[in-house]
Amino acid sequence: MSSLFRQMVWDGTVPLAIKLAPSSLPSSSDRMLDTYFIQAPRISYLPLLIPEIRQNLCDLVLDEATAAALREEDWWFETEKDNVLKWHWPIGLLYDAHFTTMSASESCFLPSASSLSPPMPITLYLSNPPADKLLLTPSVESLKSSFMSQCKEADFLRWGSTRRMTGLRKTEQDGLWDAIREHNYDNFWKIGSKILPNPNPPSPLLNSSPPTPNPDGTGAATTTNDAYAVRSIPLRLFLPNAPVIQDLCSPVTQNGVHTTLGDLLSASFPLLFSKGANIQNTSISGAYAVVQGMEPPLETEVGWLGASLAGADGWVNVCVGLRA
């Protein structure tokens, strides 16, 4: 069943409405065709959409000379309220973070209320990228480097070392990225299964404790691939208009109890989520959590989330919203 969720995450898409910024349009452009709608893969990234956007939007709207002179490395994206979109975030995370932020003032993101998701409005600028707001050069090579760094960081948090990532051959590391670019699930998991935990682990023994690194710091003391035997879950919490929160989260407590999403959220945000929150008593003040476009029950175990709903980079991204 957990492998089914992996497939669902990979196959998941989100609707985007990409509009050219008026300041990027010369007087000779066709302003009746300034928006392109696309159903984008959740696990993909905005720079990987540029060839399609160029072909189906820019080349149609702009005159031939202007389109030929475009420099794709100067392109950048923005949502409402001057929110510059981060190139190195997966598209699904950008979508979830946008609508959970919007839901604090508008009831616009209700995953359980409708199967139809609204398109995320994005403005595309063709020049003058804000270097102070973009953390990396907007290019596919920079994006690949960022992706690999995220994978290695997740590997260290999960297993206590980066051995699994660095132990891959160069062709295998390149294969991970190529599988994302080509959106090939089978090719990705042929390699990904070597670094990510088994999504169907046995239950841990009572009073067991999470593995710890070897004394010399060279890695984790365990070689098991179980989702509940990792040191911690690579997990980040996203609140509306707030810094990203990253903390260590073990899948099993020192008492041998499985850590749940409710445990994590109540510890991180006690004013929003009550202690021991569950699906019946979800939260305080209408707070809710979204992972990969879904609102999981708060009794969902974080070990399962780490094995089943992590992104291609190995991270579980939890977006917290407030219903107005």
pLDDT digits (tens, 9 = 90+) for 50-60: 999 999 999 98
Q: Domain of 129?
A: 12-138
- CA pair distance 257, 122, nearest whole angstrom: 43
Out of 9-18, 154-163, 212-221, 224-233, which region has the weakest mean confidence (pLDDT)? 212-221
- CA pair distance 24, 62, nearest whole angstrom: 10
Say what the pLDDT of residue 207 is: 40
Is residue 218 scored above 70 in pLDDT?
A: no
Backbone φ and ψ of 265, nearest 5°: -70, -35
In a domain, 3, yes or no: no
Is residue 64 scored above 90 in pLDDT?
A: no
Q: State which of 138, 162, 184 marks the end of a domain.
A: 138
Is residue 42 scored above 80 in pLDDT?
A: yes
- CA pair distance 274, 49, nearest whole angstrom: 41
Amino acid at 94: L
Say what the pLDDT of residue 241 is: 85
Average pLDDT, the chain: 85
CB within 8 A of 92, min separation 6: which ones?
Answer: 12, 14, 41, 42, 43, 292, 293, 311
Out of 117-121, 208-212, 227-231, 275-279, which region has the weakest mean confidence (pLDDT)? 208-212
Q: State which of 75, 107, 138 marks the end of a domain.
A: 138
Nearest to 291 by CA among 107, 154, 92: 92
Q: Give the bridge partners for 17, in sequence order.
A: 37, 121
Q: State which of 123, 138, 153 marks the end of a domain.
A: 138
Tens digits of residue pLDDT in 129-186: 888 888 767 788 999 999 999 999 999 999 999 999 999 999 999 999 999 999 999 9
Is residue 305 scored above 90 in pLDDT?
A: yes
Same domain, 234 and 217: yes
In a domain, 6, yes or no: no
In a domain, 2, yes or no: no
Say what the pLDDT of residue 258 is: 94
- CA pair distance 83, 252, nearest whole angstrom: 37
Is residue 202 scored above 50 in pLDDT?
A: no
